[in-house]
Structure 1
Amino acid sequence: MDSCCQTPTNPKTIYTCPSCLRNGKAVPSITLKAMLKPSALENFRPEISYAFCSTPSCDVVYFYDLQIFNKDTLKVPVFQKDNSTEVPVCYCFNWTRERIKSVQDKKQPIDHIREQVQADRCGCEVNNPQGACCLGNVTVFVRSLETLQ
């Protein structure tokens, strides 16, 4: 199964966000093509390998060297950078913070997403701004709810 939720086997490169100076993770170019608003897409350079900045307090979402794309250049809000209850934690299957909080069994979102991944239905590389599987984000969010109880 060739899935967006598989672990990549390519060598790791260190990317440092020019704004917050924290490490970012490589993101496929298809993600930027899917996420950027048309005005920002005109400045996208497909030959460059961009990275995703997950730092919540940083406005930068994608970067390469000094070229950046901020939150306001994306078509969707970014889970890591927007605390709204309606922002998706899982973009493929619309598991928002609010929806996850509303289910009785907090494992239900994780199980549901795993089933969809197994059925090769996820499209994280084009639906999720981080360009990678959301299951880690969902798991961390669910655990944070469990510690509050």
Structure 2
Amino acid sequence: MDCCVPSNHIETITTECSSCGEKGKNVQLITVKSLLKASALETIEPENSYVFCSNPACAIVYFSGNHSQKFVENDLKVPVYQKNQSVDVPVCYCFDWTRERLLEAVGTENTPADQIKAHVQAGRCGCEVNNPQGACCLGNVNNFIRDFKKA
């Protein structure tokens, strides 16, 4: 589900990460540009397509489709949910729902997912520039809460 990206959304192309071999998800250039630190942004090759690697065991966050460039979590302005298990890492980047905050809200009447959905429906999210995946985080939020309840 891509909540924030208007009709200019690019076609999803899966490409294997040269580091771990897992298939990644194509992300828009605006996502990569908005989340890279200045030192990494200065090296970006804007003519390339970029792919997000979600494998938690892999150090690579973004790589170019031709594998000429790779960016790791330290190249980004934010920690990456899939790569960093810390409790203060956002699961929802637009509304700052960290693992810790989600755990504190489990069982409350107005669930985090309901609150996030309301913001999305009101057009307040900016996942394409806030979330390293470049897509809506609601799936991550729901999966995190579901996994916690199973444990």
TM-score between both structures, scaled by the size of structure 1: 0.91
What displacement does 1:130 show?
0.8
What displacement does 1:103 show?
1.3
Q: Does residue 129 of structure 2 align to residue 119 of structure 1?
A: no
Secondary structure, counterpart of 2:82 in structure 1:
helix
CA deviation digits over 1:31-57, x for unaligned, max 9?
111110111001111121101000001
The equivalent of 1:58 in structure 2 is 58
The equivalent of 2:102 in structure 1 is 100
Secondary structure, counterpart of 1:63 in structure 2:
strand
Aligned length: 147
Distance 1:93 1:117 in 2: 10
Q: Which amino acid aligns with 1:72?
A: N
* Contact 1:17 1:63 (C-alpha < 8 Å) held by counterparts: yes
Q: 1:79 to 1:104 in 2, by over 3 A?
A: closer
Runs of 4+ in 1 over 4 A off after TM superposition: 5-11
Work out which of the residue numbers 125, 146, 149 in structure 2 matches 1:143. Answer: 146
The equivalent of 1:43 in structure 2 is 43
What displacement does 1:13 show?
2.1
Distance 1:87 1:51 in 2: 21
The equivalent of 1:72 in structure 2 is 74
Structure 2 residue runs without a partner (length 5+): none
Q: Which amino acid aligns with 1:139?
A: N
Distance 1:15 1:59 in 2: 16
Work out which of the residue numbers 122, 133, 137 in structure 2 matches 1:134. Answer: 137
Secondary structure, counterpart of 1:133 in structure 2:
coil
Secondary structure, counterpart of 2:62 in structure 1:
strand
CA deviation digits over 1:43-82, x for unaligned, max 9?
1111211010000010100001321101110111000000
The equivalent of 2:13 in structure 1 is 13
Across the aligned residues of Structure 1 and Structure 2, the Cα RMSD in angstroms comes to 2.1
Structure 1 residue runs without a partner (length 5+): none
* Contact 2:10 2:28 (C-alpha < 8 Å) held by counterparts: no
Q: 1:132 to 1:145 in 2, by over 3 A?
A: same
| Aligned-pair identity (%) | 52
* Contact 2:20 2:58 (C-alpha < 8 Å) held by counterparts: yes
TM-score between both structures, scaled by the size of structure 2: 0.90
What displacement does 1:25 show?
0.3
